[in-house]
């Protein structure tokens, strides 16, 4: 299932659609030109073969897909809907009866970036790692459970949990307050493998920290696994609105990939009973 999910990620990359459309268009154009040359050599009346016409259509469609995906207002509408499922909180909930904070992986750069460096390397979802710090400082009874092994197919080096350990100890959190789950590769395994850790009582209340756009799938998955979790969404990617003038091919493609990945993940989890 894990390998299949990684292969399906190709579908969620809009730039991959452009490549496939261009490839199909070029192959059809080549076939059409070859047929036109054969007609010419046989002294037949030459006309534009249908393959060539379809090839031009595919190339044109690739250009349209490429240009449209840079308009950020379109993917932002979908991302905003995911994020609004659990709106941002003006203040953290009362945590005096909570057992701890569950932090989902996904905010750390790859192990290859960490190799030979003396500083932790975070990515664009850094709020997942940073947001729990003041809560841990204010509530000394809380424990932090970080869950994340390695989500890449051919992973080598430090697991994400090991990298998280380096980060949190550098932030001054005492090792006895930290729990690490280092085998999970996706959200479902985050919930199931973390629940199996000795000393973790999933019936007690836990604060669940992950990106706002990822929170709907995370909450559904953890609750399905029996956790008593309260959402604490961070890493919001949209505001109340997106200006019509926001246009970027790079940012647009990235936003579309994030949205399509999460839509596909949520759909698969619901169909397979994981959420």
Q: How far apart are CA 102 and CA 96, in angstroms?
A: 16
Beta bridge partners of 71: 247
Q: In what order do the strands lie in the sheet with 205-211?
A: 178-181, 143-147, 100-104, 205-211, 228-234
Share of the chain above pLDDT 90, in %: 69
> Cβ distance 98 to 207 under 8 Å?
yes
Domain ranges of the chain: 2-68, 88-235
pLDDT average, residue stretch 82-89: 92
pLDDT average, residue stretch 172-186: 96
Tell me phi and psi for residue 251, to 5 degrees: -70, -40
Q: Is the pLDDT of residue 46 over 70?
A: no
Q: Is the pLDDT of residue 37 over 70?
A: yes
Confidence bin at 44 (pLDDT 50/70/90): low
pLDDT average, residue stretch 238-267: 94
Q: Which range has the worst mean pLDDT, 31-40, 103-112, 127-136, 239-248?
A: 31-40
Q: How is domain 88-235 classified at the architecture level of CATH? A: 3-Layer(aba) Sandwich (3.40)
Q: Is the pLDDT of residue 90 over 80?
A: no
CA dihedral (249, 254, 259, 265) positive or negative? positive
The pTM score is 0.87
SS3 content of the chain, % helix, strand, coil (to 5): 50, 10, 35
Instruction: Please give the span between the terminal C-alpha atoms of the chain, in angstroms, as a whole number.
Output: 15
Q: Is the pLDDT of residue 201 over 60?
A: yes
């Amino acid at each position: 299932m894990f390998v299949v999910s990684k292969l399906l990620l190709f579908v969620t990359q809009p730039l991959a659609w452009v490549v496939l459309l261009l490839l199909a268009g070029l192959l059809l154009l080549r076939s059409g030109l070859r047929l036109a040359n054969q007609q010419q050599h046989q002294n037949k009346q030459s006309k534009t073969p249908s393959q060539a016409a379809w090839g031009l259509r595919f190339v044109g469609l690739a250009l349209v897909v490429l240009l449209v995906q840079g308009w950020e207002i379109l993917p932002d509408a979908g991302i905003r809907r995911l994020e609004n499922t659990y709106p941002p909180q003006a203040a953290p909930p009362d945590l005096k009866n909570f057992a701890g904070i569950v932090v989902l992986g996904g905010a750390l750069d790859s192990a290859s970036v960490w190799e030979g460096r003396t500083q932790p390397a975070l990515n664009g979802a850094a709020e997942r790692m940073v947001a729990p710090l003041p809560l841990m400082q204010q509530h000394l009874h809380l424990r932090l459970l970080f869950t994340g092994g390695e989500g890449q197919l051919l992973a080598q080096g430090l697991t994400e949990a090991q990298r998280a350990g380096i980060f949190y100890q550098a932030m001054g959190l005492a090792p006895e307050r930290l729990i690490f789950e280092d085998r999970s590769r996706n959200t479902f395994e985050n919930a199931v493998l973390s629940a199996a850790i000795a000393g973790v009582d999933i019936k007690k209340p836990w604060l669940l920290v992950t990106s706002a756009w990822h929170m709907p799938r995370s909450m559904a998955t953890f609750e399905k696994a029996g956790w008593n979790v309260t959402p604490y969404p961070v890493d919001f990617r949209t505001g109340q609105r997106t200006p019509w003038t926001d246009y970027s091919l790079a940012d647009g493609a990235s936003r579309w990939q994030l949205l399509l990945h999460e839509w596909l993940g949520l759909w698969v989890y619901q169909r397979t009973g994981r959420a």
